[in-house]
Amino acid sequence: MNEVIKSIGGIRSLTANQKLVLIVVGIDYQPSTLSVDEIARRASTSKKTITTTIQQLCARGYLTKRARFDEDGGQLSNVYKLTEKVFKRETTTCVLRTVKL
């Protein structure tokens, strides 16, 4: 759990909501089968915010989402999984120039 929180906290390009969703999903057993309702409850935010944030995280490659169905074809909660991108450190390149005065 600490590794998940530490990794997510170090990703500077994510919003607070994106980090919160990754933490909630990440501290559940991987892969996570939490419902959007449960993620919203744990994150103390709306279902709409969670749905939008999950779409953003999937589009950016930090989270995968897979639909689940019961034997009668009814939809169950989705399966969410953090990707390896979460655990890779972002690096910043710094270019220094010497200026003559």
Domain ranges of the chain: 2-87
Per residue in 22-60, pLDDT tens? 999 998 777 999 999 999 999 999 999 999 999 999 999
Amino acid at 84: E
Domain 2-87 in CATH 1.10.10.10: yes
Q: What is the pTM of this model?
A: 0.80
Residue 93 pLDDT more than 70? no
Residue 96 burial (CB count, 10 A): 4
pLDDT, position 101: 64
Please spell the DSSP secondary structure of 39-97, one letter per residue.
HHHHHTS-HHHHHHHHHHHHHHTSEEEEEEE-TTS-EEEEEEEE-HHHHSPP-------
Q: Is 16 helix (H, G, I), strand (E, B) or coil?
A: helix
Per-residue confidence (pLDDT) for residue 98, from 0 to 100? 66
The amino acid that residue 100 corresponds to is: K
